[in-house]
Amino acid sequence: MHATLKPLVYFLFLIGLSFHTHAQPTEQAVKVVVAPDHDDWSYKSGEKINFRITVLRNGNPIKNVTVKYEAGPEKMEPVAKDSIILKNGTHSVEGLSLKKPGFVRCIVTAFVDGKMYRGLATAGIDPLKIEPTVENPGDFVQFWETAKSEAAKIPMETKMTLLPERCTETVDVFHVSFQNYRIGSRMYGILCVPKKTGKYPAMLKVPGAGVRAYNGDVTLAQKGVITFEIGIHGIPVTMDPPVYTDLGSGALNQYYTFNLDNRDRYYYKRVYLGCVRANDFIFSLPQFDGNLAVTGGSQGGALSIITAALDPRVKFLASYYPALSDFTGYLHGRAGGWPHLLDRNNSKFHNTAGKLETIKYYDVVNFARIIKVPGYYSWGFNDETCPPTSMYAVYNVIHAPRELYLALETGHWTYPEQREKVDQWILKMFGK
């Protein structure tokens, strides 16, 4: 490839990666539509739930189509399942219920012209009454205050490199790194700063799970907000894509399990403290006006809550479908949060006294309990990665001002309108 084309191709790759992270599912010719019979998808404990199934092609029901369905509490074994022929392209699964707060999901697979199509819907049963299962250790706050004090002693030794190919007429873009938690351990990110002389608020953008490069948020910076998008793995975030693929499949594969049996060595300790250190860096910028917020989705949704809880300098947060929430739900007969450390596939590895003790100090629920700043939260009932049961376990313990924007049909993705709603709230909070 010609050398002058590499920056452009890499930039286009990053745009595609960023879009893919929050992209809607690909449209298909056949649609399996599943919906509860309440418009708001919400029910009371013990109330009967009926799911309507429709298989469409060109907007019309397909007659005599074969479907399989299974229904029951999300992530648990189904309580109802069958294989049937939809003579008129529609069917109802009736009479399901749940006697306690939670979620019931109906998953449908249709077979059309030798191809398989899938759809699902999830009904919420008193979701605002869901209580967390994870224990709250008595020394939780002390543990993290001590960790922050120790981390604060490490010199930052900031390094900033201008990325001319990413700069615009109004925004400067930098690759940044600084020491974090231990001498020699660094965190990296992309800083976008408005060029116009003045003071600006700042948004820390924390990442979803995985190992990847980052492009930074030039669009928000063009609206007068400093943005700092960080990676969590202590590696540069401007390398060629195959490097991250190799690390994600190799040395960093399942990083979220590393040292889980020791609360002082668990992988996320450096990550959580690194988010606070990223705020230290933002506060060192001469262009910063002191108004700081944090946002992210999935793992980033979790880190948004955690960062706001750990750092009183954060003024507000916006969190999409937070992961790392109520891990222990599976030990109580219901769904737990990503990365599902204690589900039926992983429990045999992680259901040990040492790991359960560590989990208490890293579960988002216990950070949510100490949140003191306004937050905007958004998710859908059909999320199979971050089950809504686990997310409501977090939301329901927050005592700070909170707002929840539900996009019921969404899974682990967002509608453009959903992100616009959150972005509008963020800009309003910034006074933009």
Fold of the domain spanning 140-429:
Rossmann fold (3.40.50)
Q: Which of 172, 233, 383, 390 is catalytic?
A: 383
Give tens-digit pLDDT for 66-119. 999 999 999 999 999 999 999 998 999 999 999 999 999 999 999 999 999 999
d(CA 166, CA 172): 8
Q: Which of 298, 304, 325, 390 is catalytic?
A: 298
pLDDT reading at 20 higher than 60: no
Give the residues across from 404 on adjacent strands.
377
For 20-24, 195-199, 261-265, 412-416, which range has the lowest pLDDT when averaged over its residues? 20-24
Question: What is the reported pLDDT for 22?
Answer: 55
The answer to whether 85 and 131 have CB atoms below 8 angstroms apart is: no
pLDDT reading at 19 higher than 60: no
The answer to whether 131 and 74 have CB atoms below 8 angstroms apart is: no
Alpha-carbon torsion (190, 362, 98, 75), positive or negative: positive
Kindly list the domain boundaries of the chain, sorted by start residue: 30-129, 140-429
The pTM of the full predicted model, rounded to 2 decimals, is 0.94
Concerning whether 412 is annotated as a catalytic residue, the answer is: yes
pLDDT reading at 12 higher than 50: no
Concerning whether 91 is annotated as a catalytic residue, the answer is: no
Q: Is the peptide bond before 339 cis (omega within 30 degrees of 0)?
A: yes
Domains 30-129 and 140-429 share a fold: no
Question: What is the reported pLDDT for 165?
Answer: 97
Whole-Å CA distances, 365 to 40, 391, 397: 25, 9, 7
Concerning whether 298 is annotated as a catalytic residue, the answer is: yes
pLDDT reading at 344 higher than 50: yes
Give tens-digit pLDDT for 198-257. 999 999 999 999 999 999 999 999 999 999 999 999 999 999 999 999 999 999 999 999
Fold of the domain spanning 30-129:
Immunoglobulin-like (2.60.40)
